[in-house]
């Protein structure tokens, strides 16, 4: 269940923060907590779903603090194995393990006099949590493979997309480390809990991606806006950002229309017509399967791959035709990157299309 901050009335700490977007009650609470905790050296725990802006809040805390002239160092704890993460955080000396050909400074040491942001802290192992607890308690550690103790003056901001108390109850997270990190918790609301901020976010992302792509998409069709406001946004602000980028790239006018939105948001089934033939993609796939079944030997072990390859070739060809041969637009609409599309064009002999 989402925890919300108390209303702060005329408290000036609730004023907006550069880089954070939203003017509703939920974000006002986040602003207030961010400004209040920034003035201290206390550890902060940011809790919120993926895509809610935890790193932005961490940066804001650092920039508003007395440590703003020092480094801000981010570590994604979920992106590395335990051994690599330990070396990343604390550094290592030459010969500490295979591949350690030189001494390396760790992220805690690099963040001295500044702030270290430990994202996805919930993904760390119990063994590494013991070492993190020591840094928080004693402000010292040893590099991997070394005996020399290094002292640091580093503020710790951690983030989790799960409620850490639940992880403590499951014995996946150390209780003592939780209380060391959770000096000041800040709960970031999901986008569905602050729908009043969607128009502001849309305006911000439109301005950014128009400039980025040299476009002029400044209007949103009424039906499109209603769909965006009603959608549940499991990917939160990050998902909204991606949708706006897609719309700006795909728009053929200065307006975001319903057909530009993903079907999961608009509720409409995506259809693309091929020159010289009618029907949607489902019909196309059925036609090709039927053709494949009549032209291929059913005993052929590669029958499935052959049919899928034909469907993929026709889909790419169709999408390129619908996008007037513009590969970037076709790639965005297909949900793949441009390099992947180019590879597929070569595979299917469509590179000249």
Q: What is the pLDDT of residue 32?
A: 94
Element at 35 (helix H, strand E): helix 25-38
Residue 165 scores a pLDDT above 80: yes
> For 279-334, what is each residue's pLDDT tens digit?
455 555 555 555 555 555 555 556 667 677 777 887 887 787 777 777 877 777 77
Phi, psi dihedrals of residue 185, rounded to the nearest 5°: -90, 140
Residue 9 scores a pLDDT above 80: no
Residue 226 scores a pLDDT above 90: yes
HSE, side-chain direction, 13 A CA sphere, residue 216: 1
**pTM for the structure as a whole:** 0.72
Residue 255 scores a pLDDT above 80: yes
Q: Fill in the DSSP letter of residue 106.
A: -
Q: What is the mean pLDDT of the chain?
A: 84
Residue 208 scores a pLDDT above 60: yes
> For 79-118, what is each residue's pLDDT tens digit?
888 888 988 899 888 776 777 768 888 999 999 999 999 9
- For residue 130, CA distances in Å to 110, 298, 347, 350 come to 21, 59, 50, 55
Residue 51 scores a pLDDT above 80: yes
Question: Between 179 and 312, where is the model more confident?
Answer: 179
Q: Which domains does the chain have, with CATH numbers?
A: 12-189 (3.40.50.300), 195-266 (1.10.8.60), 281-347 (1.10.10.60)
User: Average pLDDT in the 218-232 region?
Assistant: 95
Helical segments of 218-302, H only: 222-230, 236-250, 263-266, 281-295
Contacts of 99 (CB under 8 A, 6+ apart): none
Q: What is the pLDDT of residue 20?
A: 92
Residue 179 scores a pLDDT above 80: yes
| Range with lowest mean pLDDT among 39-43, 273-277, 288-292 | 273-277
User: Average pLDDT in the 11-20 region?
Assistant: 72
Q: What is the pLDDT of residue 43?
A: 95
Count the residues in the chain.
Answer: 353
- The first and second tokens of residue 42, run together, are 């206390």
Confidence tier at 269 by pLDDT (50, 70, 90): low
């Amino acid at each position: 269940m989402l925890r919300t901050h108390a209303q702060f009335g005329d408290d000036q700490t609730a004023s907006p923060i550069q880089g954070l977007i939203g003017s509703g009650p939920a974000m006002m609470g986040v602003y207030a907590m961010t400004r209040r905790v920034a003035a201290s050296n206390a550890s902060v725990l940011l809790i919120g779903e993926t895509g809610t802006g935890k790193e932005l809040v961490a940066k804001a805390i650092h920039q508003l603090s007395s440590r703003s002239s020092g480094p801000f160092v981010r570590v994604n704890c979920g992106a590395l194995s335990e051994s690599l993460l330990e070396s990343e955080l604390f550094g290592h000396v030459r010969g500490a393990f295979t591949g350690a050909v030189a001494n390396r400074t760790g992220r805690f040491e690099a963040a001295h006099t500044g702030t270290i942001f430990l994202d996805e802290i919930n993904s760390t192992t119990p063994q590494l949590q013991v070492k993190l607890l020591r840094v928080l308690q004693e402000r010292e550690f040893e590099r991997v493979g070394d005996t020399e103790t290094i002292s640091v003056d580093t503020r710790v901001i951690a983030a989790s997309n799960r409620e850490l108390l639940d992880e403590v109850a499951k014995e996946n997270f150390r209780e003592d480390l939780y209380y060391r990190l959770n000096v000041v918790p800040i709960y970031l609301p999901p986008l569905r809990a602050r729908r009043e901020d969607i128009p502001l976010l849309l305006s911000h992302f439109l301005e950014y991606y128009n400039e980025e792509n040299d476009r002029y998409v400044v209007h949103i069709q009424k039906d499109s806006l209603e769909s965006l406001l009603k959608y549940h946004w499991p990917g939160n602000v990050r998902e909204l950002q991606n949708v706006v980028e897609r719309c700006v790239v795909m728009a053929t006018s200065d307006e975001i229309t319903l057909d530009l939105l993903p079907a999961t948001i608009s509720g409409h089934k995506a259809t693309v017509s091929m020159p010289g033939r009618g029907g949607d993609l489902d019909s196309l796939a059925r036609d090709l399967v039927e053709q494949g079944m009549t032209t291929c030997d059913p005993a052929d072990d590669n029958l499935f791959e052959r049919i899928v390859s034909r469907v993929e070739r026709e889909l790419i060809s169709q999408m390129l035709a619908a996008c007037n041969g513009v590969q970037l637009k076709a790639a965005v609409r297909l949900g793949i990157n441009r390099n992947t599309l180019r590879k597929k064009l070569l595979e299917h002999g469509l590179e000249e299309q």
